[in-house]
Amino acid sequence: MNSEKPSGRALLPIIIFLLLYLGNGIYFEYIHPIEGQMGFYIMSVVLAFSISLAVALVQNGERPFEEKIHICSQGIGDDNITIMLFIFLMAGAFGGIAKEAGGAGSTAGLLLSILPGGFAIPGLFLIACLISMSMGTSVGTITVLVPIAAAVAKDGGFSLAMCTGTVVGGAMFGDNLSFISDTTIAATNTQGVQMKDKFRTNIKIALPAALVTLAILVLYALRGRAVSLDSYDYNLLQALPYFVVLVLAIIGINVFIVIGVGIGLFLIAGFMTGSLTYISALTSMGNGCSGMFETMIVTILVASIGALIRENGGFAAILGFIRSHFSGLRGGLAGISLLTFLMDIATANNTVAIVMAAPIAKQISEEYGIDPKETASLLDTCSCIAQGIIPYGAQLLIAASIANISSVKIIPYLTYQFLLLVSVVLSILFHKEKARSGELL
């Protein structure tokens, strides 16, 4: 527990970040949009956090600057932060080699080839769930499947916004549960829990929402006509590594081993099918690692800012607010959920939201006796709900751009996200207060 007195002033760096990032994002997205650019990505999140860190370092003049740097280094040097950074690198290499080897395209083609035309809509949802869980990226899944969803909408006389929203929902389901997703990596490592334990807790919330969504989509599909799907090319050898990685992760193999095996299998598949050369393999893995650099830098900056805010009494102030408005175990769970949800709305990035909310959530879980795997589950789930709904998030912006419709038009058809929110609320309301084992019901 932090020995510093609660101080709302210590939260100034967070307020500065929100004003800079959210303010510029709203301005360039809705007030003065720039053609061909997403408004919330004009100002780099790294720059916004760097300015916030500078503010945090200036605060509390009673502390020597050298002591503040030491506080930052302690925050960055936390074991869980270090593990998270290493996993980010490996996940980047995995994503790069998987894409170059043709894994995503072959997996989508394989699943589409066995999909009955009369169930194209629920099939798209299932395929998005599986691909996103295998790839560990909702954006990558959306990029692969939205063009197919647009074709299904045209051929079957379905709503384009509905088909697009279906893919986004499935992508968020997989991103939430994937063992190699950066959100899962951030949520589990900041709380010091095993991915398999978080998965088992998480699936009890996500699966009911997914099953109800699937049932609704089946009823919707039965109202339309059967769709004649195109013939999609695929190579079973290129798709196989994703399924192997998924199985290894679910049975609880160490994540470093899982990702390492995945990289090795994609190298073998790529060389055997001719989709990879020695040069392209090296380049793709390097590019994949480079793609994680911003996430890693943000993690380092947030760890530094969080350590300073904690020492200056900011976390104690937030805990004081939660204590005064939320009581009992259910209150603590609700506080973590609300905190994460608001962080994602403010940052429009689910990984950043988790990294920002995680240290505060950890203190809340200790204060209220919440099992760490429940905290990790709520961090990941609530950030995915918000990220999958906000019209200025990367997922909806990219989906809308590919489908050539407004992101706002997709929101009413985000059935899975809204049902997942209901599932989270119910899991908190019916949670056993006496339970310390940590199973969300």
- Does residue 243 fall inside a structural domain? yes
- Does residue 438 fall inside a structural domain? no
116-165 pLDDT, tens digit each: 766 778 888 998 998 888 777 788 788 878 888 887 787 767 789 999 99
Q: Which domain holds residue 20?
A: 8-429
- Does residue 143 fall inside a structural domain? yes
- Does residue 190 fall inside a structural domain? yes
Name residues whose C-beta falls within 8 Å of residue 52's C-beta, 6 or more positions apart in sequence.
13, 14, 16, 17, 20, 301, 305
Is the model's pLDDT at 440 over the cut of 60? no
Note the pLDDT of residue 44. Answer: 84
The C-alpha atoms of residue 19 and residue 287 are separated, in whole angstroms, by 32
Q: Provide the number of structural domains found in the chain.
A: 1
- Does residue 436 fall inside a structural domain? no
24-67 pLDDT, tens digit each: 888 887 888 887 777 777 888 889 889 999 999 999 888 899 99
Is the model's pLDDT at 308 over the cut of 70? yes
161-207 pLDDT, tens digit each: 999 999 999 999 998 998 888 889 889 988 989 888 999 999 999 99
- Does residue 3 fall inside a structural domain? no
Question: pTM of whole model > 0.85?
Answer: no
- Does residue 259 fall inside a structural domain? yes
- Does residue 125 fall inside a structural domain? yes
